[in-house]
């Protein structure tokens, strides 16, 4: 019996084939129900007691070797066979390469920039962390003006010994950039400043502590309110359609006199009245006015020689009106189901 086992072990170790039929025949020969290993286990019953241990070990070893050999043969022949059977279907469609989309605020910011660029406005950028002078004082904000109040402005801890005008804060509007433009260049000036602004407001469907503005400035000889109106009418028609009407309501800003808020005819209902315009037919889109002579003087521009207008709008508001978005928080959540809807827009 020992010799039989030994010769089987040799036969197993020398067997080679990549033919699945031959491998199966080999498996049946050794491991089949009536195979060589089963036969030997049957014979084992008659092995003398003293030889049982030795032969038992050899027999188990034979069985394991046979199993291992078959597994090895199968795993090395299988992939080859599969590869040769596999037929590529070149008519299958490819995997689509999904394109990303621009954020709606970026789309509308670009549209606003394009419209004003065509009217000759340049682009200006400035710091988001600003001092009191550029954000407030140079813009004619009285000391006790509520916008300087802790409720609206995110103040940053003061440097020791800083004067009130060096007090640091996150800018509350991009009018601060226009102060920087005025102090660094001579009229005629025609520029817009897009950017992020910060106000200490509770987050809701209508307000956020971070939002985006585009503010504009035009200073030249003989600039009048008529120029302001025509510029903003052109902007509104380019942005919301050729039928758009505008109207001005008197308002107050420290840096403009006279000041106004501008409405456009509701682009959703065409002025007939709907829940977006609260059935008035008009929606507010921006603040504007003629630059206060004090502001020009603060920036060494001769207010007897030059006049100018300024305006400022929230990009979120324009985007909400343009795309009928009713909750401002959607802009900041980056939910792909929201963003994917802007794939077609540019
Ligand atoms: N700076 C104003 C704001 O943030 C907007 C504005 C700009 C108003 C220019 C008038 C003129 O609300």
Question: 155-164 pLDDT, tens per residue?
Answer: 898 777 778 7
Which has the higher per-residue pLDDT, 107 or 100? 107
Distance, CA 341 to ligand 1 centroid (Å)?
31
Residues 131 and 63 in one domain: no
Q: Are residues 79 and 170 in the same domain?
A: no
Kindly indicate the confidence band of residue 151, based on its pLDDT and cuts at 50, 70 and 90: low
Both 57 and 204 in one domain: the answer is: no
User: Where in the sequence is the domain holding 260, given as residue range(s)?
Assistant: 104-342
Of 153, 156, 143, nearest to 173 by C-alpha is 153
CB distance 311 to ligand 1 below 6 Å: yes
Does the pTM of the predicted model rise above 0.75? no
Question: Would you give the DSSP letter of residue 155?
Answer: B
**Residue 324 alpha carbon to ligand 1 centre in Å:** 24
Q: Give the mutation target among 287, 307, 313, 316 for probing the ligand 1 site: most ligand atoms within 8 A of CB.
A: 287
* pLDDT for position 178: 96
Average of per-residue pLDDT across 254-276: 91
Residue that wins the pLDDT comparison between 274 and 150: 274
Q: Residue 297 domain-assigned?
A: yes
Please give the C-alpha separations between residue 292 and each of 139, 296, 299, in angstroms, as whole numbers.
Answer: 9, 7, 11
**Residue 76 sits in the same domain as residue 143:** no
Asked if residue 210 and residue 73 are part of one domain, the reply reads no
pLDDT of residue 268: 84
Query: Which pLDDT band, with edges at 50, 70 and 90, does 89 fall under?
Result: confident
Percent of the chain with pLDDT over 70: 96
Top mutation candidate among 310, 313, 314 for ligand 1, by most atoms within 8 Å of CB: 310
Mean pLDDT of the chain, nearest integer: 90
d(CA 103, CA 321): 16
Do residues 77 and 27 touch, judged by C-beta distance below 8 A? no
Q: 91 lies in a domain? A: no
Q: Closest Cα partner for 317 from 309, 326, 304, 308?
A: 326
**Residue 137 near ligand 1, beta carbon < 6 Å:** no
Residue range 263-278: average pLDDT?
Answer: 87
Identify whether 90 is part of a domain.
Answer: no
Q: Provide the pLDDT for residue 78.
A: 59
Q: Would you say the CB of residue 253 lies under 6 angstroms from ligand 1?
A: yes
Of the listed ranges 64-68, 78-82, 336-340, the least confidently predicted one is: 78-82
Strands 256-265 and 246-253 turn out to be antiparallel
Looking at ligand 1, which residue's alpha carbon is closest to its atom 4? 173
Band of residue 84 on the pLDDT scale cut at 50, 70, 90: low
How many other C-beta atoms lie within 10 A of the C-beta of residue 254?
17
Q: Which of 118, 109, 112, 148 is nearest to 132 (CA)?
A: 148
Pick from 226, 284, 291: nearest CA to 253: 291
**Any idea which of 139-143, 186-190, 243-247, 289-293 has the lowest mean pLDDT?**
139-143
Q: For residues 245 and 87, which has the higher predicted lDDT (pLDDT)?
A: 245
Question: Residue 308 — pLDDT band, cuts 50, 70, 90?
Answer: very high
Residue pointed to by tokens 């921006």: 286
Give the model's pLDDT for residue 305.
97
If asked whether residues 67 and 156 sit together in one domain, one would say: no
Tally the domains of the chain: 2
For 184, 206, 339, the CA distances from 329, given in Å and listed in that order, are 37, 8, 13
pLDDT of amino acid 77: 66
**Residue 217: what pLDDT?**
97
Considering the domain boundaries, does residue 94 fall inside one? Answer: no
pLDDT at 188: 96
Tell which of 52, 85, 118 closes a domain.
85
Q: How far lies 176's CA from each of 78, 108, 180, 191, 299, in Å?
A: 72, 22, 7, 13, 12
Local structure of residue 70 (DSSP, 8 states): H
Among residues 71, 83, 41, which one has the least CA distance to residue 58?
A: 41
- Among residues 206, 233, 217, 240, which one has the least CA distance to residue 314? 206
Q: Is the CB of 130 under 6 A from ligand 1?
A: no
Q: Could you tell me if the CB of 287 is within 6 A of ligand 1?
A: yes
pLDDT at 174: 97
Q: Is the CB of 131 under 6 A from ligand 1?
A: no
Q: Do 131 and 47 belong together in one domain?
A: no
Radius of gyration of the chain (CA): 41
Q: Is the CB of 216 under 6 A from ligand 1?
A: no
Q: Give the Å distance between the CA of 311 and the centre of ligand 1.
A: 6
pLDDT of residue 261: 97
Q: How many angstroms separate the CA atoms of 293 and 297, rounded?
A: 6
Are 109 and 77 in a shared domain?
A: no
Q: Is 285 in the pocket of ligand 1 (CB under 6 A)?
A: no
> How far, in Å, is the centroid of ligand 1 from the Cα of 287?
5
Q: Please report, for the domain that includes residue 121, its CATH number.
A: 3.30.930.10
Q: Is the C-beta atom of 195 inside 6 A of ligand 1?
A: no
Q: How far is CA 346 from CA 110, 241, 271, in A?
A: 9, 17, 27
- Say if residue 31 is preceded by a cis peptide, omega within 30 of 0: no
* Size (the chain), residues: 346
Q: 120 and 169: one domain?
A: yes
* CB-CB contact of 203 with 210 (8 Å): no
Ligand 1 centroid, distance to 154 Cα (angstroms): 18
Mean pLDDT of 98-103: 85
Give the pairing type, strands 122-123 and 189-198.
parallel
* Within-domain flag for 93: no
Would you say residue 66 lies in a domain?
yes
- The reply to whether 139 and 251 lie within a common domain is yes
Pair 37, 130 in one domain = no
Sorting pLDDT into bands at 50, 70 and 90, what band is 85? low
Answer whether residue 268 is part of any domain: yes
pLDDT above 90: percentage of residues in the chain: 57
Indicate whether 227 pLDDT > 90: yes
Residue 70: predicted pLDDT:
84
Cα 109 to its chain centre, rounded Å, is 15
Nearest CA to ligand 1 atom 9: 311
8 A C-beta contact, residue 210 and residue 174 = no
Residue 198 lies in a domain: yes
The finding on whether 292 has its CB within 6 A of some atom of ligand 1 is no
Task: Tell me the average pLDDT across 104-119.
Answer: 97
- Ranking 135-149, 179-193, 312-326 by mean pLDDT, the lowest is 135-149
- Check whether residue 120 and residue 32 sit in a common domain: no
By most ligand atoms within 8 Å of CB, the mutation choice from 232, 253, 259 for ligand 1 is 253
């Amino acid at each position: 019996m020992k010799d039989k086992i030994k010769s089987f072990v040799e036969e197993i170790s020398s067997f080679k084939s990549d033919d699945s039929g031959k491998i199966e025949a080999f498996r049946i020969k050794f491991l089949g129900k009536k195979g060589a290993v089963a036969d030997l286990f049957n014979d084992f019953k008659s092995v003398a007691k003293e030889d049982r241990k030795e032969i038992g070990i050899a027999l188990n070893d034979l069985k394991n070797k046979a199993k291992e050999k078959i597994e090895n043969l199968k795993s090395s022949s299988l992939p080859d066979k599969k590869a040769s059977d596999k037929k590529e279907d070149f008519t299958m469609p490819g995997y689509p390469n999904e394109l990303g989309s621009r954020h709606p605020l970026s789309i509308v910011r670009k549209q606003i920039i394009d419209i004003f660029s065509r009217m000759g406005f340049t682009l200006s950028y400035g710091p988001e962390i600003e001092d009191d002078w550029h954000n407030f004082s140079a813009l004619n904000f009285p000391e006790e003006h509520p916008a300087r109040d802790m409720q609206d402005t995110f103040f940053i801890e003061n440097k020791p010994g800083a004067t009130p005008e060096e007090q640091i804060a996150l800018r509350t509007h991009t009018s601060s950039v226009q102060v920087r433009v005025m102090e660094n260049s001579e009229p005629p000036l025609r520029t817009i400043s897009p950017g992020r602004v910060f106000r200490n407001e509770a987050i809701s469907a209508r307000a956020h502590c971070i939002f985006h503005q585009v503010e504009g400035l035009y200073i030249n000889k003989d600039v009048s309110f008529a120029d302001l109106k025509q510029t903003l009418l052109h902007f509104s028609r380019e942005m919301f359609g050729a039928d758009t009407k505008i109207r001005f309501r008197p308002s107050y800003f420290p840096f403009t006199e006279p000041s106004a808020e501008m409405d456009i005819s509701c682009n959703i209902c065409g002025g007939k009245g709907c829940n977006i315009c609260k059935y008035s037919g008009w929606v507010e889109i921006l603040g504007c006015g003629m630059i206060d002579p004090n502001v020009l003087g603060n920036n060494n521009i001769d207010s007897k020689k030059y006049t100018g207008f300024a305006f400022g709008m929230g990009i979120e508001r324009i985007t909400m009106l343009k795309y009928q978005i009713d909750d401002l928080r959607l802009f900041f959540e980056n939910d792909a189901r929201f963003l994917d809807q802007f794939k077609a827009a540019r």
